[in-house]
Amino acid sequence: MRHALARREKRIASLAAKLGNALAVPCDVTRPDQVHHAVQSAIKHFGRIDALVNNAGQGLHGEIEDIGIDDFRELLDLNLVAPLVLMQAVIPIMHQQGAGSIVNVSSGATLATYPGSAAYTSSKSGLNMLSSVARLELAAAGIAVSLIHPFVTATEFYGAVKSGAETARAQEADMVSFAHKPELVAQTILDLIRTGAAQADLAPAAFGGSFKS
């Protein structure tokens, strides 16, 4: 049983139809009221929430002196504040159940240092610490909080950055030959849910990670 959230209603409705026993609910995760509605919809439909995957996110490429402050605030709202809002929405339910799993999707880019990445990696580094503390606080309640550091993945990510689109596209072109398939990331997330492990990374050693293909 799956509960899919996204802003594009037609797209997630199509996905839910392919998955079978799935519920598609339009949701902007930066809107706490919409998050609350989505969580309540899941409880009404399925009766429980066993796992939360916080995978909404966006990139922003720009040198420190060029980062737009409004853009940065919006990035933090999506990449860091929204995951906290979602966690706070499901944790009471998982407490009542006596179990649950939360997987926060960070980035392999936080495992190294790259010019132009400060805005994005600082938002994801904040998510790393949020996840680590949540794991410590919630362990006794049977709630496992895990973190995944994906590497370059063949998705729409680079085409949807908040700023620095040309540079992002150039980076994508340079890395397309060794970009991971989304299925690898999905399988790794499922493994984290099953095992409750603290984290997994898909970044090769040359990029600060430990992944071996």
Phi, psi (5° rounding) for residue 31? -110, 100
Residue located via tokens 């839910």: 16
Q: Are 27 and 7 in contact (CB under 8 A)?
A: yes
User: Residue 125 catalytic?
Assistant: no
14 annotated active-site: no
| 124 annotated active-site | yes
- The one catalytic residue in 101, 107, 117, 120 is 120
Catalytic residue among 107, 124, 162, 163: 124
Number of C-beta neighbours around residue 46 at 10 A: 14
Cα(194)–Cα(135) distance, integer angstroms: 15
Decide: 40 and 88 in contact? Cβ < 8 Å. Answer: no
- Alpha helix positions (H), the chain: 9-19, 32-46, 69-76, 82-97, 118-138, 165-175, 182-195
Q: Which residues contact 17 (CB under 8 A, 6 or more apart)?
A: none
Nearest to 207 by CA among 110, 116, 63, 105: 110
What angle, 0 to 180 degrees and rounded to 10, lies between the N-to-C axes of helices 69-76 and 118-138? 30
Count CB-CB contacts under 10 A for residue 201.
21
The active-site residue out of 101, 106, 131, 163 is: 106
Catalytic residue numbers read 106, 120, 124
